[in-house]
Chain A
């Protein structure tokens, strides 16, 4: 080529303008923006996700420090103060969370059992019982006064053993989050590796690997939990193990589908024609496409794991007592939902905020990492 140009130089009517100068691209004015930095930039623009991230942070922070704020420990029992409704200093003045409860009581016991603790008698009525008329009253009762806990404040009330629900809730959040994060991290690692190999290589490899998945998913998680609890004793470990055995399957299926979607595409073929190695194709060219779904699925899986935990608690396969978790608290609360709604309310609020935050956070991350959105907005 060079030889030819040299030969033709004489006939060329054109001249290079910058014959003396070195030709070079202009330098970038700004700094180069990397993949993650770009993602961060776009993530910050998404207000909802940012707020969600803040809430997740807040809950994690609360899970760490909140138990320290209370003067009660998570297992300290005051049986005589069992099932107190919440009472919060300050807010009690406006009439909610003031530790009172509306109860139907016999008029005769008004002056005996309930002496001094009646805040307001709301209604008097007679109850017909087999011809006898029993005078009853509907009254607002100060439960703290009634149960002799006059100057104490349980911000979220107490459970059936008189333990501080506030401390138990945050302690439980801590344990639930721990279970969630541990299980999800391990599941993502296994799932991504397994799914990539299965999806990329296809053929017999895929066939065998998918059959293994099918066999594993045929095992009911309940049996696994029972077995793990039997051999390891109730606790966090058997839970995480039981979630791992089949938990990564969803992730690996999704990754495999992504590989099937992208591995036949032109740019991959092009890269392969250029002699790219398998590893390069998997990690450089195909897997990054899946980073959005991976992160989305992982963020959703954290509250999902907390959910499974609460479901198992409902079935009575909870953590070993006296450790609380959100699931254990919810399962305990659900049994007395009608009588003591506060036991369900607060754990439900925390799990809702967690779900909502992780969901919005996941969406934000997903958009931020989406390669097709790079440079937009």
Chain B
């Protein structure tokens, strides 16, 4: 595995022919159907897969000999004044001990890190930092719908559909019972039954809505602007959020300040700082050098012994970073996959373009002879390598439900550098060089269903 991405390798990563393709057709169809608000041109916004600049040579056109001169000009100008692939000012973030992540508060940096490579997560949003957009939308200043709103709407729809389905099922059963003559007095029992069944549901809905509103009031920042328009809703329910809305808009009329910051997880930070060299992390105003950053994250990775200075070769952060770096180097957009019970999700171009294709699960693999030398080590390894079949079936089934393929990534753990069983040297490259990554894709296959 490459220990770092050199700037010479970057152009091959950057030149992606598919980024701008979808744009003209999209515009054409939307001009015919006017009411739908225009989607932003994601191909253009996210044209850079990493926060680095590249300077490709101009195209050579065979029937235009002058293009050669342009190429020659660019080659020579770059030879004498090599342009920097890095941004003019290094991106800055600061380490937060409470969340064990790195926060980025500068607006431009946040946009740059999100747009070029999908790094980080907004602390008030699901992934892309869009809290300000949501706020503006609630005040009617913005037409663009946020993904959180789309999800909320979808969930609400699904919930209503489920209620409706349950009601229909109940009615069908009642109908059946009536036909069979099992309900002797159809009308009165029928009514009480429906009432009994309907009431708790309604109460539950109201409760849940109330809870949401309460929580939002406590928060004081976000509010539940979109009321779930239930057919059986009381008028009080619909007015309440409106009141909230007005009060907030008065209160927060002057809010232009984005209260959201970007959270980068340790792997992303190390990749940006060490792998690309575009991020500078500081702790209480003091910048942290890359090697101690590495050490810091390793120390925070396990809750058992934060004081020990030595880094175990199978440290969980180290494994995660190795895998992260591996897939980033191969051009994938890697995002954390906790919500699907895996370590990482791999996106082909990015989350705005398509769903994740693969779900990555990291498994340490102790094949080196060092690990089987003593009985004590063997027992320890067995514990760490142990996964049962139930675990595998569970993980795999979850991935099947969400149409991703599971990739088991085995990381070969090298023996420790020194005999005391730990890594004490702090050349990150040397440490990473010793790891090996194997991928193993897995799919749930049912004989009856997968017959083509």
B and A form one assembly: no
Residues of A within 8 A of B (CB): none
Residues of B within 8 A of A (CB): none
